[in-house]
Structure 1
C-alpha cells in the first residue's frame, strides 16, 4: 500500500515552514514568489502533503510520562519531566506550538488560486487540512484552555491576537469536524492522490467523539462514537503465533487451565502487541495514523522506550502504579499488589516471592511492560528482561516499555518506520462505553463494547453482577481505558478531566527502594492548565494573558 509521502523539498520547506517557532508560526511569505507556485493540481497535492507532517508522532508517549503512567528521566527531551514533577513556570513550553495551524491557514488561504484542478478533489484536500488544523486546536485547548483562534495567515507584526475562550474554540473544532465528515471518504482506493492513510470520515468523527468526551458532553460523545462503530472498523487480531513468539515460555507466569486456555492467552497477547508493528500498519483497527516514509522518516520508539540492553535510552519507564492497574487474567479484577517496602525487600533478597506479583496478569501486561523475567524471543533468542539498576540508559523504575517496540526492526538492525497510531477503534469503543455509562448507567451495549476489547486481549468478559452499578462500572471503564491505551498519550487528559490528578500524581519509586523516590512529584491545581510561555506574551505586547497561578 502506498503511503502519503510527506514533502521535504526545498520548495515546500520555504513555502510551509516558518523561519522560527513563534506566535502562530507565520510562514516566510517573502521567500517564495506567489507567481511561481499555486499553479496546478500537483502544486496543491504537494502542499497538502506538506501539512500532513504536522500530525503528532512518537512524542505522544511523553504525555503518559507527564501523567502517572510513566516516568521521563531526561528533562532535555521533553517537558514531561518538569510537568510531572510540578516544576512548571512560564519559561516552559509545554506544547504551545502553532506550526500546524500556520501551515494549514496558509494552505487554505491559497489553494483556491489553483483553477486547473477537479473541484471535488480540491474540497477534499481542504477538508484534510482543516482536520489537521482542528486537531491542533483541540490539543492546544486541552493543555492551555483559552487560545488565540485564527483561521487566516498571521502577517508579520500582527501577532497581538488575544486568547479566544476555550468553549468557542471547542465549538469551532466540532463544527469543523462535522463539516469535513460530510466531505471526506470512508476509505481510499490507493494511488495518487488517493493514498491509503489520508484522513477519512472515520477520523473526523472519532476526533469529534474524543472532543465531546473530554468536555463531558456524554450524549454527543456516544452519538459520534456510534457513528464510527458503523463504518466497518474492527479490532486487530492474529490467529496464530510465528516460530519466534512460540518460543516464549509463559508457564512460569500463568497457571493455564489447559491448552485452549494457553492459546487464548497467547493470541490475546500477540494480537495486542502486533497491532503496533510495522508489518501490520494500516490494519483494520487504525482510524488515523501519522504516516512514516520507509527508510526516510523513522520514528524513535525503538530508541526511546527500551533500555540499554536492547540499544535503547530508557527515556520513558512505566510506573509501579501503571503495573498495578493490569488486572488478573483469571478473574478480570484488579490484583492486590505487595507494599512497596515488601516488594523492595523481596527484590534485594532475591526472594522467589518477588515474582509472584507478575503472575496471572492481563495478557496486555506481558505485551506492554518489561519486568524482570518477561520472555521475548522475537527480539532476541533467549531474551528475558533483567533490570540492571544504575546502568546507563536504563529506566529508573525497574520496568521498561515493551509496547510499540518493534522486535523485527531490532533484529534487522534497521530504523523503525512504523506509522504512529493516533486514533484506533479500541478507543472509540471505550469512548462509547464511558459516555453511555455516564448517561444511563450499565446496559448491554456498554458491556458489549468492553467485552470486545477484553476478548481481543484474551481476558474474561465483564462480570455483569459485580459491575452492575454506574459507579462500579465507571471504575472498571476507567481502568480498562488506562490499560488498553497505556503509553498512547491519553492519560494526561484523562486524569485532568476526571479530576483525579491530585490523588494520582504521587512521587514515584523504583522496585528496589521504597523510601528514596526517583522523582518527587507535587500537584497544585494550576497544573490543570499549562502556562502560556512568557516569550509569547512578550511577543504579543501583553495582549496574551497568563493562566492563573503562573
Structure 2
C-alpha cells in the first residue's frame, strides 16, 4: 500500500540532512550533474512532506475552534498574540525545514530529469510545499534551483511576497502538472492530473479567484468517475490505516511505520485522539455544539467522542500508518459549490451538489427555498465543511481564506493570521529573513 516507500528506506539514509538549518545542502546527495535516474530524488521530495503533516494538522484544528491545548505554553495556539513563537521547536521549525527540503529535491528533478512524468510530480510537490508555506507564514524565501555548497553565501534569502509566489511558482507549477500528468498513478498514491487540478482549484479559492476556481474544481467533480474517484458509501470508511488510498482520496501524504519520520514529536493522530499529555481532552465544545445543530448526523460518531473529549477519526490502532489526506472528493465538491455560489449560481444548483454528502451523513437535502440568498448558502457550505472535514487540518485555513477567522475566533489583530517565522531561520540568515509583524 505504501508503494512510494518501498524504494525509499535506503535513499533516506543517503540524502537526509542531519543539520536543521536550511542553508546546509544535504552533504551526501549526489550532485545533479552525476545523476541520470532521478526517481530516488523524487521519492525524497515525497518523503520530506511527512515533516509537514502534524504541524499543518495541529494548526488547522487547534488554532481554530475544533480543538484546544491544555498544558502551557501550548494554549498559545488559542491566544492570538506573540506567544505563538514558543511553538517553534515542535511545529513551525519542522514544518519550515521539511517543506524546503522537499522543494530542493523537487527542484533537482524539475531542472535535471528528462522524464516528464517525474517533472510533473515534482512540480506538484513544489507547488504543494510553497502553498503550505505561504498559508502558514505569508511571505517566504523562494529558491527554484539546486544549490551547490559553494553557492550558499550567494543565496537570496529575502522573503518574497506571497502574491508573487502564487503567481510565479504555485499556479504555474500546478498548470504544468495538469498538462503533464495523467491519472494512471492514483492507486499508487503518487501525484496525478486530477490531484493537480484539485489543488489548483483550492489555490484559486484561497486567492479569491472564484472564476478560475470553478472551472478547475468542475473538471475534478465531472472527471472523478473516469479517474476512479468516488465518494465512499460509509463516512467512517474514509479513515484509518485499513482504508488508506480508498476511492475518495485524490491525494494523500503516505505514512508508514516502516520508515523513520524526521518529525520527532507526537504525530497528528495522537493529537486529535487526546494521546499527547499536552492535550488529553482536545475536543472543543464549539465543535460539539456544531454537531448538536445537525441532529442525526452520522459523521458525529466518527469525528467526536464526548466521553473522552477527543476525536476517533484517526484511531490509535494503526496510528503510525494512517495516511494524511491532503485532498478528497467531498472536499472538492464543497469547494466547487462554494465557487458556484460566489459566482452567482442559483441556490438550487449549488445546494444540490451537497446532496450526496448529506445523504451519506444521514441528513436531508438542504431546502433552497429557505436558503435562498448567497450569504445563507455561503454559511450553509461553511457549516457543512466544518462537520465533514473536522480534524483534517482544514478549519483554520478555511476561516482565514474566507475572511472570517477574526470574527469567529474573536481576535482583532490581523498580524496573527500568519504564524511566526522560525527564529532559527532568522538567525542563520544573519537577519536577511525577517520576522512577521506582531512576533
TM-score past 0.5 threshold:
yes
Q: With structure 1 as the length reference, what TM-score do the two structures score?
A: 0.69
What is the aligned counterpart of 2:425 among 522, 536, 541?
Answer: 536
Residue ranges of structure 2 left out of the alignment (5+ in a row): none
What is the match of residue 350 of structure 2?
A: 446
1:84 corresponds in structure 2 to 78
Q: Give distance in 2, aligned partners of 1:35 and 1:443.
A: 53
Say yes or no: does 1:322 pair with 2:287. yes
Cα distance in structure 1, aligned partners of 2:71 and 2:136: 21
Shift of 1:531: 2.5
Structure 1 residues 173 and 34: CA distance shift in structure 2, 3 A: closer
Q: 1:536–1:312: structure 2 CA closer, same or farther, 3 Å change rule?
A: closer
Q: Show CA shifts across 1:52-108 (max 9, x none).
A: 1122434443120011111133567xxx63232224355653535143333443453
- 1:33/1:168 Cα in 2 relative to 1: closer, same or farther (>3 Å)? closer
Q: CA deviation at 1:460?
A: 0.7
Task: Report what 1:3 is aligned to.
Answer: 3
Aligned to 1:433: 337
Higher Cα Rg: structure 1 or 2?
Answer: 1
- Pick one of 399, 403, 414 that aligns with 1:499: 403
Residue correspondence of structure 1 range 380-529 to structure 2 within 5 A:
387=308, 399-405=309-315, 409=317, 416-505=320-409, 524-529=413-418
- The answer to whether residue 43 in structure 2 is matched with residue 49 in structure 1 is yes
CA shift in 2, pair 1:273/1:160, >3 Å = same
Q: Which residue of 2 is the match for residue 162 of structure 1?
A: 158
Equivalent residue for 1:259?
A: none
Displacement of 1:220 after TM fit? 1.2
Higher mean displacement: 168-177 or 523-532: 523-532
Q: What is the aligned partner in structure 2 of residue 72 from structure 1?
A: 69
**CA spacing shift, 1:465–1:453, aligned 2, 3 Å:** same
Shift of 1:527: 0.3
Residues 303, 58 of structure 1: alpha-carbon distance in 2 compared, 3 angstrom cutoff: same
Q: Give distance in 2, aligned partners of 1:177 and 1:72.
A: 35
Name the count of aligned residue pairs.
419
Which residue of 2 is the match for residue 203 of structure 1?
A: 195
Cα separation, 2, equivalents of 1:225 and 1:113: 31
Are the equivalent residues in 2 in contact too, given 1:181–1:201 (CA < 8 A)?
Answer: yes
Higher mean C-alpha displacement, 442-451 vs 170-179:
442-451
Mapping of residues 113-262 of structure 1, within 5 Å: 119=114, 122-154=115-147, 155-171=151-167, 172-188=169-185, 196-231=188-223, 232=225, 233-237=229-233
Aligned residue number for residue 370 of structure 1: 305
Cα distance change on mapping 1:316 and 1:525 into 2, 3 Å: farther
1:12 deviates by 3.7
CA pair 221-229 structure 1, distance change in 2 beyond 3 A: same
- Whether 1:549 and 2:438 are equivalent positions in the alignment is yes
Deviations 1:336-364 (A, max 9, x none): xxxxxxxxxxxxxxxxxxxxxxxx44221
**Are 1:272 and 2:235 an aligned pair?**
yes
Shift in Å, 1:543 = 2.4
Taking only aligned residues, the RMSD between alpha carbons, in angstroms, comes to: 2.9
Q: CA deviation at 1:153?
A: 2.6
Cα separation, partners in 2 of 1:11 and 1:498, compared to 1, 3 Å: closer
